[in-house]
Every structure is written in structure tokens, then in C-alpha cells.
Amino acid sequence: MSDRLELLTAYRNTDFTIYAPDGELVMRCEQESDAIDELVRTFGKRNCAFITAQNPGSVKLGVFENAQRHQELLHEVNRIGYPHFPGRGVGRASSWDPEESVFIVGIPKGEAQELGRAFGQIAIVVKELGCRAELILCI
């Protein structure tokens, strides 16, 4: 159980960078963000999620396999049709390599959780307008 607690702590101490059209935005667990809310509002939506397909189950994979998984995630996000932007998760106090990710606008929390689960993720980050970003489990 302490391993899982350490993982969740590491996730909470990650900067989830969004490469938006007007510049980089950073989502952090348990924090609000007017800038992210504004980006989501421009699409007439109320929620968003930050998801990676890399290193499923927090087991480090090779560069090629992670790149392939990221492309599969992008393909799925394009298929379901939500607006999205590239992202990268970077641990603030970790030796973990940055993970290529996707910031998805308008995806409901439950659907985002299912997408994270489909790609083997332990947790993802979701946010609703006016609320703090929230780490939710996918397992």
C-alpha cells in the first residue's frame, strides 16, 4: 500500500503542462486555474481531462513503445472527437521522465476515467470549471 501512496503523491506533485494556442498552461492537482477555465470556456464546455498512455501501471517502458502508445491515444481522442491539445506531465520532485500526454476539452469525468483505464493508467487528472483539478483513480 505504501507504494501506491508514493505513486499518488508523485502524481499530485506533477506539473501537467498544456501546450495551448496562446501559450503553455500548467494544471496542478488540488489547484484552480482561471486560464485553464478560460480555455475550456472558449469551446463552450465545462470540463476537461489530462491523460497519458505512457508507462501503463507506472511501469517504465522504452521510448519506442511509449511513443507508439501516445499515437494510439491521439488516434482514439481524434476518433471520439473532443477538442484537445498536446501536453506533458513532468514530476516536480521525481526522476521520472516526462510523459507525453493529451489535454482533452469537454470529456466527461467518467468517460475520461474509462479512457485512462483503457490505456492502463492508475490515475488521470480531471477538472470542472471553477473547481480544483482532481486526481482520480482508473483502477
pLDDT at 8: 83
pLDDT at 96: 75
pLDDT at 1: 47
Output the pTM of the full model. 0.94
pLDDT at 97: 86
Question: Could you list the residue range(s) of the whole structural domain that residue 20 is in?
Answer: 2-137
**Residues 4-39 pLDDT 10s:** 788 888 888 999 999 999 999 999 999 999 999 999
Q: What is the CA radius of gyration of the chain?
A: 14
What percent helix, strand, coil does the chain show, rounded to 5?
A: 35, 30, 30
**Residues 92-128 pLDDT 10s:** 876 778 999 999 999 999 999 999 999 999 999 999 9
Q: Where are the beta strands (DSSP E) in the chain?
A: 14-20, 23-27, 47-52, 84-91, 99-105, 123-128, 134-137
What band does 2 get if pLDDT is binned at 50, 70 and 90? low
- Sequence-ordered list of residues with C-beta below 8 angstroms from that of 73, at least 6 positions apart, any chain: 51, 52, 53, 102, 115, 119
* Dihedrals phi, psi of 16, to nearest 5 degrees: -100, 95
Total structural domains in the chain?
A: 1
**Residues 55-72 pLDDT 10s:** 999 999 999 999 999 999
pLDDT at 34: 98
